[in-house]
Amino acid sequence: MSDPQAISAAVAALYNTYPFPPEPLLDEPPPGYNWRWNWSAAYNFCTGQAPKRHDIRILDAGCGTGCGTEYLVHLNPDAQVTGIDLSSGALAVARERCQRSVNDRAEFHHLSLYDANQLPGKFDLINCVGVLHHLPDPIRGIQSLATTLAPGGIMHIFVYAELGRWEIGLMQQAIALLQGTQKGDYRDGVKVGRQIFGTLPENNRLVQREKERWSMENQRDECFADMYVHPQEIDYSIETLFQLIDASGLKFLGFSNPRQWTLDRLLGKNSDLIERAKGLSDRQRYRLIELLDPSSVTHYEFFLGRGELPLADWSSDDTLLNAIPERSPCMDGWASRCLFNYDYQIVNLSEPEFEFMKACDENQGRRTIAEILSAVPLELENVRSLQQQQLILLTPKT
């Protein structure tokens, strides 16, 4: 299938048949958080400081059934949130989801990413998760979104990676071969795929990968169809990913799962190899990581920015002491000394750290770090550690 309009129609038909994601509708706000969808946490990750304003505009580009939109509304109470999608069936679910759980604060439009520029105004935060790789022309899609991003705005993107999805690609081709002329009948595709998995030997590589990585979510036909019988998918490598990014005209701000892209976790035991890697560019280092650990790179998630975003430097003690701190909005278990941080990692705070965090929680933009430390016995380096762990967000004193 090479006709872009036919591809778009086939993608819409898939999601009208199997609206995705298939998460249950709630009569209450969604549980937990995704820090990448919280304006304060995402902006802090990209710039090292808290944003100056929260009355922003957010676009959920390719919102599907509204699971991400629901979180964007819930995590950004002062923002105006808009969702767009190609599937009318998915949009109907998204509208109901947000009406039921977050008091209908989102608006939705039946639009392709290509037509995002039909929306009025610009957006400060664009969320585009799991969409670009399903377009017949992802470059046109990302360029369309880039035109709607406000100066100083940020965009969060998630696309598939080829190395970690190798077995998925093989199964997609196998299902298509066995479907023959029934290709495009997505319910039949799910049936054929499940029959294949149920028939192959237990030690088959495709079966093993499915059991190890995907089988829990693929119990639901919607997830199975999205993974194995999708009519359009483009998987990326680091090289082709940055071709996409470069074509956007936006600035790469970093991967939003940075631990994945740390070479020390793979080669840290060998100082000679680490020394050799110092001569690599960032992109070469990323490529080395995916070559050495291919099964873990199933996708890329990252931030892009328009124009020059401010980049805070807290290395100076005086600058840090004069900053105004606030507690990160993304943590679970507060207020206690043992909690989950923005990335759901366990953190155990010392008693002085806990007292400092409580002071930040009650601060409301009034006191500087120096003023708080006059009453809390905590070393400045411990404060810097809290900031580096994104447990506190800082604003320069004006």
pLDDT tens sequence across 97-133? 999 998 778 999 999 999 999 999 999 999 999 999 9
CA distances from 378 to 41, 242, 335, 354, 386 (A): 24, 43, 18, 10, 11
pLDDT in the model for residue 340: 96
Which pLDDT band, with edges at 50, 70 and 90, does 1 fall under?
low
State mean pLDDT over 158-179: 98
Q: Does residue 153 sit in the same domain as residue 278?
A: yes
Give dist(CA 300, CA 237) in Å, integer.
9
Q: Does residue 142 sit in the same domain as residue 41?
A: yes
Q: Is residue 384 part of a domain?
A: yes
Q: Is residue 280 part of a domain?
A: yes
pLDDT in the model for residue 2: 67
Which pLDDT band, with edges at 50, 70 and 90, does 301 fall under?
very high
Q: Does residue 19 sit in the same domain as residue 114?
A: yes
Q: Does residue 12 sit in the same domain as residue 139?
A: yes
User: In 3-state terms, the chain is what percent helix, strand and coil (to 5)?
Assistant: 50, 15, 35
Inform me whether the pLDDT recorded for 296 exceeds 70. Answer: yes
Q: Is residue 210 part of a domain?
A: yes
Out of 270, 305, 340, a domain closes at: 305
Q: Does residue 256 sit in the same domain as residue 140?
A: yes
CA distances from 6 to 63, 90, 130, 346 (A): 21, 19, 20, 48
State mean pLDDT over 9-35: 94
Q: Is residue 279 part of a domain?
A: yes
Out of 205, 228, 251, a domain closes at: 228
pLDDT in the model for residue 3: 87
pLDDT in the model for residue 384: 97
Give dist(CA 253, CA 303) in Å, integer.
5
State mean pLDDT over 230-248: 98
Inform me whether the pLDDT recorded for 83 exceeds 90. Answer: yes
Inform me whether the pLDDT recorded for 295 exceeds 60. Answer: yes
Q: Which domain, by its residues, includes 144?
A: 4-162+235-305
pLDDT in the model for residue 17: 96
Inform me whether the pLDDT recorded for 344 exceeds 80. Answer: yes
Percent of the chain with pLDDT strictly greater than 70: 99
pLDDT in the model for residue 365: 63
State mean pLDDT over 1-24: 91
CATH of the domain at 298: 3.40.50.150
Q: Does residue 241 sit in the same domain as residue 128?
A: yes
Q: Does residue 37 sit in the same domain as residue 92?
A: yes
CB 328 within 8 A of CB 391: yes
Out of 207, 228, 249, a domain closes at: 228
Q: Does residue 170 sit in the same domain as residue 156?
A: no
Q: What angle do CA 345, 348, 351 make, to 5 degrees?
A: 150
Q: Does residue 218 sit in the same domain as residue 98?
A: no
Q: Does residue 109 sit in the same domain as residue 134?
A: yes
Q: Does residue 93 sit in the same domain as residue 27?
A: yes
List phi, psi (to 5°) of 207: -65, -45
Question: 3-13 pLDDT, tens per residue?
Answer: 889 999 999 99
pLDDT in the model for residue 398: 76
Question: 179-230 pLDDT, tens per residue?
Answer: 999 999 999 999 999 999 999 999 999 999 999 999 999 999 999 999 999 9
Q: Is residue 312 part of a domain?
A: no
Q: Is residue 311 part of a domain?
A: no
Percent of the chain with pLDDT strictly greater than 90: 96
Find the length of the chain: 398
Q: Does residue 57 sit in the same domain as residue 174?
A: no
State mean pLDDT over 142-150: 98
Q: Is residue 310 part of a domain?
A: no
Give the number of domains in the chain.
3
pTM here is 0.95
Calculate the average pLDDT of the chain. Answer: 96
